Amino acid sequence: MNMEIIKQNDVPLLDRKRVTIKVTFSGKSTPTNVVIRKDVAKVLKVEPKLVVIRHIYQKYGNTEAKIIAHVYNSVEKLKVFEGEKAMLKEEPKAEVPVETPKVEAKETPKEEEKSE
């Protein structure tokens, strides 16, 4: 994934930066918010928990996207302005299909009619 910072605005009143980034990626699907958040944090040299992805703009079938992200100076300010649900979430782990044991139906012996 290739990232290029297009614009970066400092917002001192809200104690954050608003960053616009152009992302070029390979593959058929757009990377998830968690992956983009971690890569933005690496590029800006901040902790991933301080980055919130606000928007991902992509045209259908294109391998480029425009991303708007907020980078906060502290976790406390992030909680105040974004709320708890904006905190870093881990990427969902791929579910491993659980194989259910095959149960073979056994034929029950028919009770013979008792002739007395």
DSSP state of 103: -
Residue 97 has pLDDT above 80, yes or no: no
Separation of CA 59 from chain center: 19
| Structural domain boundaries in the chain | 2-84
Average pLDDT of the residues of the chain: 80
pLDDT of residue 2: 87
- β-pairing, 2-11 with 64-72? unpaired
13-17, 21-25, 56-60, 102-106: range with lowest mean pLDDT: 102-106
Q: Which residue has the tokens 């960053």?
A: 19
**CATH fold of the domain at 2-84:** Alpha-Beta Plaits (3.30.70)
How far is 84 from 100, CA to CA, in rounded Å?
38
pLDDT of residue 8: 94
Residue 51 has pLDDT above 70, yes or no: yes
The percentage of residues in the chain with a pLDDT greater than 70, rounded to a whole number, is 72
Q: Is the pTM of this model over 0.75?
A: no
Beginning with the edge strand found earlier in the chain, give each strand of the sheet holding 2-11 in spatial order.
2-11, 16-24, 64-72, 51-58
